[in-house]
C-alpha cells in the first residue's frame, strides 16, 4: 500500500485476486471480532471462579454460550437490517 | 488507507472495482454496528445461556436493537432542535 493505486496496470487475474483478497479480509475481520467477543462474554458467564482446569460443566456452559452468542448476533443483524429498511422508507 | 478512500481514487479508473470496494466498506460498517449492538444487548438480555435462544430473550434482543436506534435518533433530533434554538437566540 505504498504507491497510489493505478488499476490501469491491473490484469484481469490480478483484479480477481484483489477482489478475493478484500472479501477474505472482511470475513476474517468479522470472525476475529466475533471470537474475541465470545471469549470475553462466555468467560464472564461461565467461569465464576477460575479453578485449576476447565471442568466439564464449565465446558458445557461455554459451548452453549457460544451458540447462543452467534444466535444473538444473527438476530441482531436481522433486526438491524429490517430497521434500516424501515428507516429508508420514511 | 481505508477501503473507502481507495474506492474514491479508483472511481474514475475502474468504477466497477470502486463500487465493489464501497459495498465491502458498507458491509464492514454494518457488521461493526451489529458487533457493538450484540455486545450491549447480550449484557442486558441474556441470563444463563441455555440449549436454545428462548422467546423471551429473542424478544428482548429485538427490542433492544430498536430502542437503541430510537435513542440514537432521539439524541440527534434533540440536538438539532436545541441547536436551532441556540442559533435563533444568538440572532436576537
* B20-72: pLDDT as tens digits: 999 999 999 999 999 999 999 999 999 999 999 999 999 999 999 999 999 99
**CB proximity B28 to A under 8 Å:** yes
Smallest CA–CA separation between B82 and chain A, in Å?
Answer: 23
- Over range B70-75, report the average pLDDT: 96
Q: Is the pTM of this model over 0.80?
A: yes
This model of the complex carries an ipTM of 0.83
* A48-89: pLDDT as tens digits: 999 999 999 999 999 999 999 999 999 999 999 999 999 888
Secondary structure element (H or E) that encloses residue A8, with its range: none
Give chain B's domains with CATH numbers: 3-91 (1.10.287.810)
Q: Which residues of A touch B58 (CB under 8 A)?
A: 75
**Which one of A48, A59, A72, A81 would you mutate to disrupt binding with B, by most B Cβ within 10 Å of its Cβ?**
A72
CATH number of A10-89: 1.10.287.810
Count Cβ atoms below 10 Å from residue A86 Cβ, excluding itself: 11
- Over range A9-35, report the average pLDDT: 89
Q: Is B57 exposed, middle or buried (0-12, 13-18, 19+ CB in 10 A)?
A: buried
Q: Which residues of B touch A87 (CB under 8 A)?
A: 69
Q: Do A23 and B24 touch (CB under 8 A)?
A: yes
Q: Which band of pLDDT confidence, cut at 50, 70 and 90, is reported for residue B7?
A: confident
Domain ranges of chain A: 10-89
* A26-56: pLDDT as tens digits: 999 999 999 999 999 999 999 999 999 999 9
- Residues B50/A68, Cβ–Cβ less than 8 Å: yes
Name residues whose C-beta falls within 8 Å of residue A37's C-beta, 6 or more positions apart in sequence.
Answer: A69, B35, B38, B39
Cα B33 off chain centre by: 5
- Over range A4-29, report the average pLDDT: 82
Tell me the CA distances in angstroms from A14 to A11, A23, A82, B24, one per residue in order. 5, 14, 36, 18
Q: Which band of pLDDT confidence, cut at 50, 70 and 90, is reported for residue A5?
A: low
- Whole-angstrom distance, CA of residue A9 vs CA of residue A28: 28
Q: Which residues of A touch B10 (CB under 8 A)?
A: 5, 7
**CB proximity B48 to A under 8 Å:** yes
Q: Which of B6, B31, B37 sits opposite A5 (nearest CB)?
A: B6
Q: Which of B17, B49, B61 sits opposite A75 (nearest CB)?
A: B61
pLDDT confidence of residue A8: 60
Amino acid at each position: 500500500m505504498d504507491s497510489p493505486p493505478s488499476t490501469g496496470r491491473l490484469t484481469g487475474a490480478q483484479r480477481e485476486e484483489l477482489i478475493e483478497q478484500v472479501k477474505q479480509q472482511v470475513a476474517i475481520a468479522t470472525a476475529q471480532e466475533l471470537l474475541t467477543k465470545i471469549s470475553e462474554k462466555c468467560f464472564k458467564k461461565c467461569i465464576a471462579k477460575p479453578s485449576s482446569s476447565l471442568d466439564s460443566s464449565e465446558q458445557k456452559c461455554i459451548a452453549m454460550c457460544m451458540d447462543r452468542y452467534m444466535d444473538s448476533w444473527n438476530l441482531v443483524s436481522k433486526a438491524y437490517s429490517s430497521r434500516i429498511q424501515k428507516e429508508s422508507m420514511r | 488507507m481505508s477501503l473507502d478512500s481507495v474506492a474514491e481514487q479508483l472511481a474514475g479508473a475502474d468504477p466497477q472495482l470502486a463500487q465493489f470496494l464501497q459495498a465491502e466498506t458498507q458491509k464492514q460498517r454494518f457488521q461493526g454496528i451489529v458487533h457493538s449492538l450484540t455486545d450491549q444487548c447480550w449484557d442486558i438480555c441474556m441470563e444463563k445461556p441455555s440449549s436454545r435462544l428462548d422467546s423471551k430473550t429473542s424478544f428482548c434482543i429485538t427490542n433492544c436493537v430498536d430502542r437503541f436506534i430510537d435513542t440514537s435518533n432521539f439524541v440527534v433530533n434533540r440536538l438539532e432542535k436545541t441547536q436551532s434554538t441556540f442559533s435563533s437566540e444568538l440572532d436576537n
